[in-house]
């Protein structure tokens, strides 16, 4: 059967809504097209880029009639930069779309309807909210550049002068490091040829402590101008920790061992009145203000009375578990990253919390041993990676028979799939609430409460 559209064809389309991931949804005689850069209410001229059995993909080459939800994007790098997807979409429409995607995923993928979907929590600030940015070095016609990947491109980096997701401090440090690299005459690493030296700059900021950590990631070799690099970033008084990391692999990763060049090995952040030590590769939610909102909601869902044994799975540096400890009998955290567990142990000591313990290990392989040591949990707190719980981990969690499971998710589709399996294992989804930690992106966090039937 012939498809109603062909690759390369240009069509006038009316964008109806947003799909999960951020593409606009249009229909041509019932055939669905996912249109990149198309926003709800827009009438666009779109070029078809891919045709599949049940849908096609397209790119909006021209907005013929903007929808009411389209606004002016403030960033000079938008939409070329891949850091933001929706600066030109009114924020209230962004939030509504994210809430709808959570509801749709739980209903369509999870098959769940008899639960309370609470109103989405809007972001406290829609700009300058990120406490961590990872920049890439690149070549430009005027010399070495430092910025973010272009939208949809792994092999092209856009030199950035001002990013609206970070703070003035973050922008200042990035620009100062670029000037240092140009002065030193250092070559950026080319992902295509695997040649060059400078790969990434990672900036982390304690938003409530005014402390900053900077990591320079390079290819193997000595670091020329290391002292001048340290001097450059130390001009900013907030910088308390400066690191150097060597990535000798082809892949673009920054989560590699670091060497301390100057200052303290970690910075601190304050969340819900607790102090947390943050090392270069430790996980921390990238929106500090909304992280507090997210964790307050998770604590509310946990419903602790002071008598519960809590398992904090995928515990990171212990942020959620330590926030729960005040109202729990004991908290037991499990995390695969040894660096994060080291931070969690430090953080428990830093805050004088004696009823929380943390262990390094894979969740799927650790729960039987943990139950033998700690006893059965009354509450399980889950905060897994974007891929959700693996099949083995999900079975192990369900086998714990905890009366309550609180699931903090950063991906509605994997949450929905895991929710379906938990319901099949004897749980009921009681309530869920989307929380927007990432304005101008398609990403949304969700807190969900499961109770035993």
- Active-site residue numbers? 410
Distance CA 335, CA 318 (A): 9
Edge-to-edge strand ranges of the sheet holding 24-28: 10-14, 43-51, 55-65, 31-36, 24-28, 17-18
Pairing status of strand 239-246 against strand 258-263: antiparallel
Residue from 342, 351, 185, 352 nearest 278 by CA: 342
Q: Is 318 left (phi over 0), alpha (psi -120 to 50) or beta?
A: left
Burial (Cβ within 10 Å: 0-12, 13-18, ≥19) of residue 108 = exposed
Distance CA 145, CA 189 (A): 11
DSSP state of 444: -
C-beta atoms surrounding 6 within 10 Å: 10
As a three-state string, the secondary structure of 143-179 is: EEEEEEEECCCCCCEEECCCCCCCCHHHHHHHHHHHH
Going by C-beta distance under 8 Å and a sequence separation of 6 or more, which residues neighbour residue 193? none
Q: What Å distances lie between residue 342 and 115, 255, 310, CA to CA?
A: 38, 16, 20
């Amino acid at each position: 059967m012939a498809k109603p559209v062909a690759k390369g064809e240009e069509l006038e389309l009316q964008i109806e809504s947003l799909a999960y991931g951020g593409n606009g949804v249009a229909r041509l005689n019932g055939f669905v097209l996912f249109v990149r850069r198309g926003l709800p209410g827009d009438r666009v001229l779109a070029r078809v880029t891919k045709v599949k059995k049940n849908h096609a993909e397209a790119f909006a080459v021209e907005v013929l009639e903007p929808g009411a939800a389209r606004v002016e994007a403030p960033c000079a790098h938008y939409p070329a930069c891949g850091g933001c997807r929706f600066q030109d979409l009114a924020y209230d429409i962004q939030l509504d779309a994210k809430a709808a995607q959570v509801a749709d995923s739980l209903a369509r993928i999870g098959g769940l309807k008899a639960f309370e979907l609470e109103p989405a929590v809007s972001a406290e600030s829609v700009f300058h909210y990120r406490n961590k940015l990872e920049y890439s070095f690149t070549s430009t016609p005027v010399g070495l550049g430092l910025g973010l990947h272009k939208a949809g491109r792994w092999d092209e980096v856009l030199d950035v002068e001002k990013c609206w997701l970070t703070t003035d401090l973050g922008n200042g440090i990035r620009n100062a490091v670029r000037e240092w690299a140009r002065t030193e005459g250092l070559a950026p690493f080319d992902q295509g040829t695997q040649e060059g030296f400078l790969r990434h700059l990672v900036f982390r900021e304690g938003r409530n402590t005014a402390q900053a950590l900077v990591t320079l990631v390079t290819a193997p070799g000595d670091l020329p101008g290391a002292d001048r690099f340290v001097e450059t970033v130390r001009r900013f008084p907030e910088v308390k920790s400066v690191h150097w990391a060597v990535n000798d692999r082809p892949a673009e990763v920054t989560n590699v061992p670091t060497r301390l060049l100057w200052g303290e090995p970690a910075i601190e952040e304050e969340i819900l009145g607790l102090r947390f030590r943050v090392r270069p590769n430790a996980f921390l939610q990238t929106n500090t203000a909304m992280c507090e909102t997210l964790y307050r909601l998770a604590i509310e869902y946990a419903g602790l009375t002071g008598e519960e044994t809590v398992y904090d799975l995928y515990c990171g540096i212990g942020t959620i578990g330590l926030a729960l400890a005040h109202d729990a009998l004991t908290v037991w955290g499990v995390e695969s990253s040894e660096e994060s567990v080291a931070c969690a142990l430090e953080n428990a000591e830093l805050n004088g919390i004696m009823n929380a313990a943390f262990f390094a290990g894979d969740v799927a392989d650790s729960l039987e041993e943990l139950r033998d040591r700690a006893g059965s949990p009354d509450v399980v707190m889950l905060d897994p990676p974007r891929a959700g719980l693996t099949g083995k981990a999900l079975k192990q969690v369900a086998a714990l028979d905890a009366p309550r499971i609180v699931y903090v998710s950063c991906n509605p589709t994997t949450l929905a799939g895991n929710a379906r399996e938990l319901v099949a294992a004897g749980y009921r989804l009681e309530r869920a609430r989307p929380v927007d930690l990432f304005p101008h992106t398609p990403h949304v966090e969700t807190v969900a409460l499961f109770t035993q039937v």
